Amino acid sequence: MTEEQAIYFTIIFMAFTYAAIGFGINKANAKYLLAGYNTMGTQKRSEFDIDAYLDFLKPFFKKLSLFPIVSFIALSFILKGETKIMVWSLVQIIPFAYFLRMHFKKFKND
C-alpha cells in the first residue's frame, strides 16, 4: 500500500466509522456503546433523557461522516504534500470541540 492509498483509506475509514455511529447507536445499544452512559447505575440511567441525547448525537455524527472527505478535498486546493496532511489531521479536532461546546450547553449538570 502506498502512502497515498493509506491516506485515502484513513479518510474513508473515518467517514464510515462516523456514519456507523450516527446510524448505529440507538436506545437499545446505548447502554453498551456510549461512554459515561454505559457506566451509570440503573437509577441514574433511568433519570437520564437518552432520547434527547440521541436526538443530539446521531445527527451530529451523520453530518460528521462527510467532514473528513470534504475537508481533505478543500485543503487539496490550498495545500500540498505533508503540510496538507498535517493541517487536515489538526482540522479533524474542530468538530469535536464544537460537539463538546454544544453538549455542555445543552446537557449541563444542574
Sequence ranges of the domains in the chain: 3-106
What's this model's pTM, rounded to 2 decimal places? 0.86
Question: Mean pLDDT over residues 69-81, rounded?
Answer: 95
- Residue 53 is placed in which grid cell? 441525547
> Which secondary structure element, helix H or strand E, spans residue 33, and what is its range?
helix 30-33
Mean pLDDT lowest for which of 15-19, 42-46, 97-101? Answer: 42-46
Q: How far apart are CA 30 and CA 104, in angstroms?
A: 19
Distance, C-alpha 106 to centroid of its chain: 17
Question: How far is the C-alpha of 60 from the C-alpha of 107, rounded, in Å?
Answer: 15
Give the per-residue pLDDT at 109. 62
